[in-house]
Every structure is written in structure tokens, then in C-alpha cells.
A and B are shown apart, each in its own frame.
Chain A
Amino acid sequence: MINFDNVTKIYPNQNRAALENVDLTVNKGEFVFLVGPSGSGKSTFLRLILKEERPTDGQIHVAGKDLARLTNWKVPHLRRRIGCVFQDFRLLPNKNVYQNVAFALEVIGKPRRFIRRVVPEVIDLVGLEGKHDRMPDELSGGEQQRVAMARAFVNRPMILLADEPTGNIDPATSIGIMKVLDRINRTGTTVVMATHDAAIVDSMRKRVIELEYGKVVRDQVRGVYGQAY
């Protein structure tokens, strides 16, 4: 589903590589944690998948497509198959829950009937039933992140990228968020989650990829956050 072939990324005007010779494959339906200290290249990894950045060297394949060969005007189509969740939620403050989720479908030109059918389903899936009309500032952080997840998932992407989704949320609420991500993963969606949250990584027992200074230093199938051995 995601394949990095010896990928190196050096940002302009920087001598140190943000990612160096990263060589890994994430299969369809996998749940992967991306761990490592700040500046280790987690965000660069996610941005490369979205083709927000181009690799300096190496090849990236996402959903069977060679990103280097993907023309600019086809990039939006790639992004429709990838959902994104962020630490800061990125909701539209002047739209309610329903409108925020529907926005993702409106702007890719989906018919209104389809939107009316699909949006409530996804809002139920993330556990916000009955809160369609709430504005983002009337919701708790956990609930806002659920809206963001609903928006990321509403178009049924093949891949869900989560960049520290629990970074702004207390541990108890985080468990709920992880349950939703797990539920999304169980529908067959590949989930890649960058995180600093050791407790979550340890409790989920999923594949863990650890980055340090842009290099993959650990890739375990059922790993924990810290290096226990």
C-alpha cells in the first residue's frame, strides 16, 4: 500500500537529511505506529506520502502509484484516497459537525444525496451521534478530534494518516480516539500514526517503526514505544 524505496529527503538550505535511505513497506490493512523524537522525520514521512514534498532521492509508491510520475493535477486524486488527522484538529470554526464532515465531500464534488446518506453514518462511527449541530467550540478536544476523524474517513480512504492525533488530548480521552482509529483500521483501511504517546503504543501492540535523525532504527511487528531490550 505504501512503499518507500531508499528514500532520502533533504530540505533546501539544510545539510542534514530529514529522512535518509528509508526503505520500508506498509501493507494493506496494517496499523503502523511511527515513533521517534521531534525532528526525527515522522512528519516528513507523512508529507511525502501525500506528495506535499518530493523526495530528494529514492522512489515512493502509494496505492500502487509511483508518486514521481504522478502529475500535479492528479495529486488531488491521490489525496482523495488518503485521510488525514492532525494534532490541532483543523476544523472549520464556522461550520457545525455535520457541515465540517460534509465539506470534505462537497469540495470533491460529490452529489448532495450521497453526502446526506454517508455523513451521518460516519458521524455515528466515530461516536458523535446526536451532535450534528454542535459547533467545534462547543465540543471537547476529544470530540473535535472525532469530527476530524469522521472528515478524514468519510470518503472511505485506503490510507489514514494520523499525525499525533492524541497530542492535545488527555490520556483517558485518547483511549476513545484510539478505539475509533482501531475501528477504522478494521474496515480494511491502512492506518499510519505518528505519535509520542508511549502508553498508547504499548497497549495497542501493533507494528512500530522508530525513526531517529531520519533513519529507521527499529521496525517491529508487535512493538512497544521504548526500546525494551
Chain B
Amino acid sequence: MRSNFVFQEIWVGLRRNLTMTIALVVVVAISLSLLGTGLLFVKQVDSTRTYWQSKVEISVYLCTTDSPNPACSGAVTGAEQQQIYQTLKAMPQVEDVSYVSQTQAFALFKQDFSNDPSYVSTVGENEIPPSFEVKLRDPAADYNIVASAVTGAPGVDSVVDEMTILAKFYRLLDGARNAVVIVALILIVAAILLVANTIRLSAFNRRRETGIMRLVGASNFYIQLPFLLEGVIAGLFGWALAAGLLIGVKSLLLNNLQQYFSYNVGLTAADLVEVIVLAMCVGVLLCGVTSFLTLRRYLRV
């Protein structure tokens, strides 16, 4: 095997249809980076979901004197409050119940909106309802049972499941992820067609050489290797660009999500490396296999 001969052939091939090669590199880069972004999204959603599922709670808001809810007739009484507490505590699905008084709730409220003091100043302490924060054993399955047990009970204003709030957020993330993955798949199809076309053009450009090679008895492997490597090298260039883009996506986009959360949802460098390595495998396989199949059609013995 004369390796420098093979590399010379690859170089000639890549240079001769430079425009196709550039198009191929760009499409591979974009499709791989979108695919990678999709994978990062999946990881991101998983990491936040796992965290939340352990934290999620049902808030049972109690009536206050100012409650606009017609079910409330004045503030919750001590007996009612005790009754609700007992009901919740007795349920097997409930892991823990804690009482948040109006004072505590108002303090939390002030803290949450600390960057908007004018808003805080319009709300009085007695407008923030006290609540029971109920921690469930299995939030996804047990929410309805627990919620219906206390909804409409005397003294209960409303029952709010944090899951429903989070669900919106998840829908958003899932939708974004699906969109990204679908676009990535379409682009991968485009990339496959482009690889096939590039290799076909390259084979056509060098049909004289390959014809002579066949004639003088060069092995199929020797004839096809430069074309195959041409595809794979273009794929690797595309992957290198995609890796850069993915690092950008993580550091500019996903890391920004962190600022909306008080706990750590950031992806680790290992996650990123995993996605990049996966993208490389996809890129190399995609280009290699497509080149190989194209060559079987256009460079027959």
C-alpha cells in the first residue's frame, strides 16, 4: 500500500470538486450540530425533570378574608385547617405535609420578587394565602387522588399542582427538541444525497484514472479507498465544525438556562463530549457508508 499515493488522490479529488466538498462539509456540519443540539436538549430536559420530580409539590391554598373565591366564606378557621391537615396526613400517597403561614408566604413572596419592589409594595401580607405544601411519593400518578381529596373541602381556596406549571415548560423544551431533531434528520437526508453526489462527481471526474487502474489490475480496495476516504474526510471536517458549534450551543444557550434555576441543572463537560463523540460516529458512518454504497454502483469491476 502506497499511502502517499492514496493521499495524493484524495487531495486531488477534494480539490477538483471544491464547491461540492464545501457544500458537503457545511451540510454535514449543520446537520450534525442540530442533531447534537437535539441530544443536548434531551439531556437537559432529563436532568431538570429528574430534579423536579423529586421536588414537586402540591400547594393547597387556604382561604383568607380577602379571598375572591366564592367557596371561601371568610378566613379559614383553626378547625378547618386541622381537618385538612389530618385528611392529607392520612393519605398513603402523601409523604409529607408542611404548613406555610401567611407571614412565611409573604416573606417568600418578597424574596421571589425582590428585584421588583414596586410590585411587592402593592401586595399586603394578608393577601398572600397560607398553604399546605404537600409532598407526594409519586407525583405523576398520585396528583389527582390527593388533589380531589381536598378540593372543595371547607377552608380550601384552590389546589395547585406544580406539575401543571412545569408541564408547560417541558412541553416547550420537548417541542424545541423535536423541532431540532426533525430539522436535523431532514438535513441528514440532504447530507446523504450530497455525499452520494459528491462521490459520484468525483468518480466521474477521475473515470480515466480509475479506468486505467482497473485495466492494469489495481484492486477494488485500492481504487475505491481514495473516494471512500474523501467522503470520510469531508465528513470529519463537517464534524469538526459541528463540534465547535455544539460547544457554542452549550456555553451560550444551555448554560444560560442555569440563571433561571436556583439549583444546578447545567450539563457537564462529559455530557458534551459524549454528544460530540456520538456526532462524530454518525458523521463518519454517514459519509463512509454512503460513499461505499455509491462506489459500488459507479466503480464496478
Interface residues of A (CB under 8 A from B): 50, 72-73, 75-82, 84, 90, 92-93, 103-104, 106-109, 112, 151-152, 155
Least Cβ–Cβ distance between A96 and chain B, in angstroms: 15
B269: Cβ under 8 A from any A Cβ: no
Distance (Å) between the CB of B32 and the closest chain A CB? Answer: 34
- Residue of B5, B208, B209, B215 near A79 (CB, 8 A) is B215
For A72, A77, A106, the residue with the greatest tally of chain B CB atoms inside 10 Å of its CB is: A106
Contact B216 A151 (CB under 8 A): yes
Knowing A76-B218, A76-B219, A76-B220 are in contact, say whether A109-B2 is a contact too (CB < 8 A): yes
In the complex, what distance in Å separates the CA atom of A107 from the CA atom of B216?
8
Query: Is B213 an interface position by the 8 A CB rule?
Result: yes
A-B contact pairs, 21 of them (CB 8 A): A76-B214, A76-B301, A77-B217, A79-B214, A79-B215, A79-B217, A80-B216, A81-B217, A82-B217, A90-B212, A92-B209, A103-B212, A106-B5, A107-B5, A107-B212, A107-B216, A107-B218, A108-B216, A108-B222, A109-B2, A109-B222
- B1 partner, pick from A80, A93, A109, A151, beta carbons under 8 A: A109
B248: A residues at CB distance < 8 A: none
Tell me the dominant secondary structure on chain A's binding face.
helix
The answer to whether B208 and A92 touch across the interface, beta carbons within 8 angstroms, is yes
Q: How many whole Å from A58's CB to the nearest CB in chain B?
A: 21
Give the top 8 A-B pairs by smallest Cβ distance, nearest first.
Answer: A80-B217, A79-B217, A107-B218, A104-B216, A76-B217, A107-B213, A76-B219, A84-B215
List which B1-42 residues lie within 8 A (CB) of chain A: 1-2, 5
* Shortest Cβ distance from residue B58 to the other chain A in the assembled complex, whole angstroms: 70
CB atoms of A90 and B219 under 8 A apart = no
How far is it, in angstroms, between the C-alpha of A166 and the C-alpha of B5 when the chains are bound?
Answer: 32
A108 touches B209 (CB 8 A): no
- Complex Cα–Cα for A115 and B1 (A): 14
Judge if B68 is at the interface, Cβ distance under 8 Å: no
- Give the residues from 212 to 255 in chain B that come closer than 8 angstroms, CB to CB, to chain A: 212-220, 222-223
Interface contact B208-A107, CB-CB below 8 Å: no
Question: Are A73 and B219 closer than 8 Å at their CB atoms?
Answer: yes
* Cα distance, A80 to B220, chains bound together (Å): 13
- B152 contacts chain A at the CB level, 8 A cutoff: no
Alpha-carbon distance between A78 and B1 when the two chains are bound, in angstroms = 19
Minimum CB–CB distance from A226 to chain B (whole Å) comes to: 32
Instruction: Give every chain B residue within 8 A of A80 (Cβ-Cβ).
Output: 216-217
Whether a CB of chain A sits under 8 angstroms from the CB of B74 is no
A107 touches B222 (CB 8 A): yes
Is there contact, CB below 8 Å, between B211 and A90? yes
Instruction: Tell me, rounded to whole Å, the shortest Cβ–Cβ distance linking B296 to chain A.
Output: 11
Contacts of B222 in A (CB 8 A): 107-109
A76 to B214: give the CA distance in the assembly, Å.
7
> Residues of B contacting A151 with CB < 8 Å?
212, 216
Q: Name which residue of chain B comes closest to A111, CB basis.
A: B2
Which residue of chain B lies nearest to A50 when distances are taken between CB atoms in the complex? B215
